[in-house]
Amino acid sequence: MKRSAMLAATTLSLLFAATTLPGSAAGQQKSLAERLIGTWTYVAVDTVRPDGSRVPLYGPNPQGVAMFDGNGHYQLLTSRAGLPKFASNDRMQGTADEYKAVVQGSIAHFGRYTVDETGKTITFEIETSTFPNWNGTVQKRPFSLEGDELRWRTPASSGGGIAEVVLKRAK
């Protein structure tokens, strides 16, 4: 009896090890879409000009989060660090300069997303944005995901070049 129990335990151990080895179905790396799920924080949001120079769109330390869930929903919030407070302490009573600083220093949007594993692109179906011109639009962006770093590029909204977004997985 001991011998058959030992043989069964050894067989189960070998089967478990075989299913978790690289190359086995259970041990294979997750898809890009699966690895994207979670919360990400901003490292950089730069315009990369044709000459290679960089201009930080939201300052040297952009703030915000990008969140992707497993059901294809996302939300992005990007902000310049240190936006000025409103003197009135009432967001409905800002000055023209205060409103301008907030609009130029932040962007947010949410909706649905899909990942093209082969083409390594993410497509945002923007439901609502703080830039209303994006409401109801679809934006496709090439991206890379290496370790805890997520990057995507998109045509820059002003001044030409490419906007590059770099995020790290929130801990």
pLDDT at 154: 87
pLDDT at 3: 55
pLDDT at 45: 95
- Mean pLDDT split into 10-residue runs, the chain, 171 residues: 49 43 59 96 94 92 97 98 95 95 96 98 98 97 96 80 95 91
105-141 core/surface letters (b: 16 or more CB in 10 A; e: else): bbbebbbebebeeeeeebebebbebeeeebeeeebeb
pLDDT at 149: 98
pLDDT at 82: 92
pLDDT at 164: 95
Contacts for 109 with CB less than 8 Å, ≥ 6 apart: 75, 76, 124, 126, 127, 128, 129, 130, 131, 134
**Angle (CA) 58 60 64, round 5°:** 50
Instruction: Take residue 93 and report the two structure tokens written for it.
Output: 């009573």
pLDDT at 29: 87
Residue 113 CA neighbour count, 13 Å, CB half: 24
Q: How far apart are CA 163 and CA 152, in angstroms?
A: 8
